[in-house]
Amino acid sequence: MNEIPDIHEEPNELYEHFRFVVDKGQGQLRIDKYLFAKMENVSRNRVQNSANAGNILVNGLAVKPSYKIKPLDVITIVLAHPPKDTEIYPEDIPVNIVYEDKDILVVNKEAGMVVHPGHGNFTGTLQNALLFHLQKSDPTGETRPFLVHRIDKDTSGILLVAKNELAQSKLARQFFYHTVDRTYVALVWGNLKEDEGTITGNIGRDVRNRLIMSVYADEEKGREAITHYKVLERFGYVCLTECRLETGRTHQIRVHFRHIGHPLFNDETYGGNEILKGTTFTKYKQFVQNCFKLLPRQALHAKSLGFIHPTDGRALHFDSEYPADLATVIEKWRAYSQYKNPDE
């Protein structure tokens, strides 16, 4: 058996993608047994769930767990990561659930809430809140929140969560193959030259600061990332943009706009928390500082999400209003741009 390293970490290490080529001397064997023997720390149940979700392909075609492998078969598998029981504890924290059924939850996350425990945030996360919510209807604790994507702590907006492993596996496939429809709104510094555009660049960990991301020309230093944007409004010194993602890399929108010289407004991590465009007038500086206080985070909101329901096949789409902090700052810039000359 030849294993070809092909492990993806999109979105943000919530699933993996593997590719195998079956050895010429391999006898016929059920594919679930074959993969269970070849993949470390992966249960047979997870392999079977991936197959039932259509996430195991042989020579490009989806197969069931009972498929008998043959020599030189090319096997690809998208494998969702299960929640880690030892890291998640139920906490009674208010959370805005906009849709729920037996398989999925859709949440409109507030800015400031971490999605899952880790990196010093072991309590107060969205997963802690959702586990508490789910245990109210299932005291056994067997129903748990399964993540399929994430948004940053200080990014607000729509987030999709599975309630069982099969739903997670089916949704992970949609995210991996980029068939979900995600839109974000971002307020960025500067006056973008084009009304629409595409930002590309391989995103990987910054070599000097592992907590942030950078764009690299060398594909070996980062993974391909593609962001499409459209200018919604121009306010002279900042632009309100709509962003659509083809990929889901960590901090993708934030690092891509920093890369082209237009960091997100008040994005401290990527340099947007300074006055990067505008005049030297004291009143203007006071205006920007006031906006920073009203919006003490990066100006990014996950506005909408469209996907196929993992069980009944319905096409679902969820949209959200701008949160109050972002809406207030957008309105202030809109009013400011109407009576100030951006070229003065």
What b/e sequence results for 70-103 when a residue is b if at least 16 CB atoms lie within 10 Å of its CB, and e otherwise? Answer: eeebebbbbbbebbeeeebebeeeebeeeeeeeb
- Distances 191 to 154, 238, 277, 295, 307 between C-alpha atoms, Å: 24, 6, 9, 20, 33
In the residue annotation, 312 being an active-site residue is answered as: no
Q: Which of 103, 152, 154, 267 is catalytic?
A: 152
Whether the CA torsion 265, 270, 274, 276 is positive or negative: it is: negative
Report whether 18 contacts 53 (CB < 8 A).
Answer: no
Q: Which H helix or E strand runs over 241?
A: strand 238-245
Between CA 316 and CA 98 the distance in angstroms is: 12
CB count within 10 Å of CB 31 equals 23
Q: Which helix (H) or strand (E) holds 107?
A: strand 104-109
Burial of 234 (0-12, 13-18, 19+ CB in 10 A): middle
Amino acid at the residue 225: A
Best CA proximity match to 175, nearest among 343, 310, 47: 310
DSSP label at 320? -
Please give the positions annotated as active site. Answer: 152
